Amino acid sequence: MDDSQALRLQVYMAKCGVGSRRHCEELISQRRVMVNNRVVDQMGVKVTPEDIVQVDGETIELVDKVYYIALNKPRGYVCTNYDPNEERYARDLIMIRDQNLLFNVGRLDKDSNGLILFSNDGDFANKVTHPRNEIEKEYVVHLDRKADVEDLKKALKGLYIDLPQPYRIKSYSFIPQRKDYIRVVLTEGKNREIRKIFSFLGYEVKGLTRVRIGCIELGSLQPGEFRNLSKKEIEGLLAGKNSLDERKKFGAALKRERELKRRQSDGNSN
């Protein structure tokens, strides 16, 4: 096979459904990847489908079908695909034939619930999770008391807690009639960011639900339920549609698309 069809190892791994490119690079640096029975720990290696690539001793291959799935993760489930100390995995709730190919796009910690995306498309995962794309994540946060506006202003400005980089929220809004609930929007998504911010400010987070990723909303999905993303949803997410106005316009377009499909289906049944 000619060199024009060769791919960088981490790109090849991502296209095999191993994970995002960044995750694949971590696996390579950890010496967990072999090419033609030799351990590879450098990023410049190129491979073709004729090469034998193994991750943790298991051979991987390019996949033909790609999946883009939204799941309402219940509290108590983890998003990693394997942890010897855990028993309940979010991926196991997605009952499809190729479940083993899926990996979570971004994170949602065990004690939180709500919207999490799964895919086997590494390029998609990389674009959605890369900080430079600033895709919004919106949460409903249940606190032990009403948040003080001055504290929220500090969170907007940025708080130095346990990293050289600040923890920061992009925006917030109060939920009418619920003084102890607040909506918070992030674009970075550091590990347990919201919990760390409010804990640092002296609050207890009693509940945390993610309700939106970019233009994808949790909507009516019940805990444990999942659905496939539509083509328009995928395109909208990759295009960086984030703002409320964009979501309203996008939601209207999606509603028209669903109505058209319903009419076509009704016509075919007749």
Give the number of other Cβ atoms within 10 Å of residue 62's Cβ.
Answer: 11
pTM of the model: 0.76
Within 10 angstroms of residue 254's Cβ, the number of other Cβ atoms is 17
Domain of residue 161, CATH code: 3.30.70.1560
- Indicate if the pLDDT at residue 246 is higher than 60: no
Average confidence (pLDDT) over 91-103: 90
Q: Which domain holds residue 100?
A: 68-131+222-238
For the chain, the maximum distance between any two Cα atoms, rounded to a whole number of angstroms, is: 65
Q: What are the phi and psi torsion angles at 220 (to 5°)?
A: -95, 10
Q: Is residue 86 part of a domain?
A: yes
Residues 126 and 77 both lie in one domain: yes
108 shares its domain with 52 = no
Residue 245 lies in a domain: no
Distance CA(49)–CA(52), nearest Å, equals: 8
Same-domain check for residues 125 and 102: yes
Cβ atoms of 71 and 103 closer than 8 Å: no
| Boundary residue ending a domain (16, 44, 60) | 60
Q: Please check whether residues 75 and 53 belong to one and the same domain.
A: no
Examine the domain organization and report whether 227 and 200 are in the same domain.
no
* Per-residue model confidence (pLDDT) at position 265: 66
CATH of the domain at 228: 3.30.70.580
Same structural domain for residues 203 and 227? no
253 pLDDT higher than 70: no
Output the domain CATH number for residue 20: 3.10.290.10
Confidence tier at 249 by pLDDT (50, 70, 90): low
Tally of domains in the chain: 3
Amino acid at 219: G
Active site residue: 41, 56, 83, 109, which one?
109
140 and 126, same domain (yes or no) = no
Q: Taking the CB of residue 32, how many other CB atoms lie within 10 A of it?
A: 15
pLDDT in tens, 139-158: 999 999 999 999 999 999 99
Does 123 participate in catalysis according to the annotation? Answer: no
| pLDDT greater than 50 at residue 1 | no
Contact call for residues 53 and 35 (beta carbons, < 8 A):
yes
Question: Do residues 25 and 52 both lie within one domain?
Answer: yes
Whether 88 is in a domain gets the answer yes
